[in-house]
Amino acid sequence: MFELKNKVAVITGGGSGIGKAIAEVFAAQGAQVCILELNQKAAKDTAQALSNQRLLAKGYACNVAQQAEVDTVIQSILKKFGTIDILVTSAGIAHIGSLESTTADDFDQVYQVNVKGVYNAMHSVIGPMTSQGRGVILNIASVASHVGIPDRFAYSMSKGAVVTMTLSVARDYVKRGIRCNSISPARVHTPFVDGFLKKNYPGREAEMFAQLSQTQPIGRMATPAEVAHLALYLCSDEAAFLTGCDYPIDGGFIHLNN
């Protein structure tokens, strides 16, 4: 079950965090993985680590906020592999701030990566997927698109847009063999979390990590691998009847915190 053999999967932000975990799980299930990553070294290192005797993972340096860059990389992938079966849009940035403290530049930066970046990736693959009559798109949203989280104004805006873009694409292309869903994680223990705690709470990292973990009713953060396993199911043939939905993976955060 959940085999991805002979499938080509493009993963934005696949060089770290959730995207990297998804790339690892997909490769383990037989997918040809193509990683789009702003950091060229991260793209190359992750691809090299995933390559084996059967599959040669490919890493591409790409700023998802730039449509021309995304188009160029997608065309290179199509030329090399002939198809793109799966797109996962995991590239994104965080921002802390209320409406009042969020500057116009902050807002634009979050929009360019988290919203425009998802649009650019979907826009580049939708034509080829439509032509081949099949395809799966999975967008990474957030629980911030469902509930109010303090000081996450721009980030919540961007992830709300991801969910509604997902629903729109699912509706428009359901008759053309393309499925489109999204995942909304709560807090996930990624290198970003460790860096955030080190920067903002020096000497109190363990204390603050415990506090953040307890905001999930289940009592801990998710692991990137747990999110990746949900992504695997939603992108597999076993999920062929699923489209147009957002799937929280949140340790009870949305419904059990009230």
- Residues marked active site are found at 155
Query: How far apart are the C-alpha atoms of 161 and 142, rounded to whole Å?
Result: 11
- As a 3-state breakdown, the chain gives helix, strand, coil percent values, each rounded to 5, of 50, 15, 35
Answer whether 87's CB lies under 8 Å from 121's CB. yes
Task: Report the amino acid identity of residue 8.
Answer: V
Among 18, 70, 20, 25, smallest CA distance to 235 is for 25
Residue that the structure tokens 């959940």 belong to = 2
Strand order in the sheet with 32-37: 58-61, 32-37, 8-12, 86-89, 135-140, 178-185, 246-249
